[in-house]
Amino acid sequence: MTIDAIVAGAGIWGCTVARRLAETGRQVLLLERRAAPGGNVRCETDPQTGIEVHSFGSHIFHTHIPEVWDFARRFADFNGYQHKVLANYKGKTYFLPLGLALINKFFGVELSPGEVAGFMADEARSRALFDAFFRGYTSKQWGKAPEDIDPSVIKRVPVRENWDTNYFNDTNQGIPLAGYNSMFDRMLDHSGITLRCNVEARLENGKFKAGGDELPQSVPVYWSGPIDALFGWKFGRLPWRTLRFEKEILPVRDFQGTAVVNYTEAEVPYTRIHEFKHYHPEDKKTMEAPATVVMREYPAEWKPGDEQYYPVENAESRALAEAYKVEAAKYEGLTAGGRLGEYKYYDMDKSIEAALKATANAKGGV
């Protein structure tokens, strides 16, 4: 078998890289440690209800990047789902993000858009909103007080001065009509891609191996596994937060009326409840079925062997990640990318964008 490039990790970054390289005439060996491609976007169909369950937490495709949207639509038709997130605080339910719907209900006022800035200039009001909707939630998510968290984490929260309750600003949103697994299957359906699952790629004595096999050493390697694991954690382990999930099938048509509800109080042990049938409102049979699948999400401190979900952003972790990136630069032809390879939080569209950039110069056959 001819191998012109090796891609380690068949998540969304690795699958995009493999497809782009294959379309330039390369023969790509794609290695995946799990039993199937898709990374944390991988879904399963619940056998009892037929509902597509996002096994690793909800994933909504959204983007404002034309090249990314064009690429994704080659492999999936999207249903146009618009993501709306609710927040439960002290038994009352509010629309996120921060906007007129939440502010007016929380404070019992009727502000117009032009009045929001002045109203929220009151520090006591800003603090009340932060304490209600972010202090407890953030402390659960990151396992520490909000004051100890890098400000960039808080800045991810959308804030608006209108009635728009869509969580994302992106025009292009949706869930693949045929499911995420179908999207990955179509992406990898190319004669230039050979997928090997249940295989762990590694670097041993300066040589790349897959299982017990030594790989060709003179071809480019695109690595999307944990960058610290690639080098045997020689500088130490990068810190992560992980998640655990509790799935439940309930004998009701509709449990919470929306896909995601955040539980913001520190006393509630989980951060979110997902109800997956709401991601496919076009599927009337499933929507009207007298059963639903919900999943509670519990953040936890990461330890070796757990899934790595969120990089812990602080000065120490950034310095450690940089040391591994410097080490990776010593290997000619090695590109480390994706959430694990770059130690960077990525939305799906940003992961595809990064993969397209990583393969931008691969324009011809080898």
Does the annotation mark 347 as catalytic?
Answer: yes
The verdict on whether 272 is a catalytic residue reads: yes
Q: Cβ(61)–Cβ(78) under 8 Å? A: yes
Residues in contact with 228: Cβ distance below 8 Å, sequence separation at least 6, in sequence order? 235, 236, 237, 238, 320, 324
Instruction: Give the span between the Cα atoms of 129 and 126, in whole angstroms.
Output: 5
Q: What angle do CA 103, 108, 109 make, to 5 degrees?
A: 75
- What does the alpha-carbon distance between residue 323 and residue 231 come to, in Å, rounded to a whole number? 11
Query: Per the structure block, which two tokens stand in for 147?
Result: 């004051």
Instruction: Please check whether residue 224 is in contact with residue 328, taking contact to mean a CB–CB distance below 8 angstroms.
Output: no
- Active-site residue identified among 180, 272, 275, 343: 272
Q: Let me know if 77 is a catalytic residue.
A: no
- Considering the candidates 32, 228, 342, 347, report the single residue annotated as catalytic: 347
CB atoms within 10 A of CB 62: 22
Are 232 and 286 contacting, i.e. CB atoms less than 8 angstroms apart?
Answer: no
State the number of CA atoms in the 13 A half-sphere of 183 facing the CB: 26
Nearest residue to 177 via CA among 19, 350, 43: 43
Q: Is the peptide bond before 176 cis (omega within 30 degrees of 0)?
A: no
Asked about 19 being catalytic, the answer comes back as: no
Query: Which residue among 297, 313, 342, 353 is the active-site one?
Result: 297
196 is catalytic: no
Decide if 345 is catalytic.
Answer: yes
Q: Which of 19, 20, 135, 160 is catalytic?
A: 160
In degrees rounded to 5, what are phi and psi of residue 132? -75, -45
Is 156 one of the annotated active-site residues of the chain?
yes
Q: Which of 241, 265, 296, 298 is catalytic?
A: 241
Which one from 110, 147, 156, 204 is the annotated catalytic residue? 156
Out of 298, 309, 331, 345, the active site residue is 345
Residues with a catalytic annotation lie at 156, 160, 241, 272, 297, 345, 347
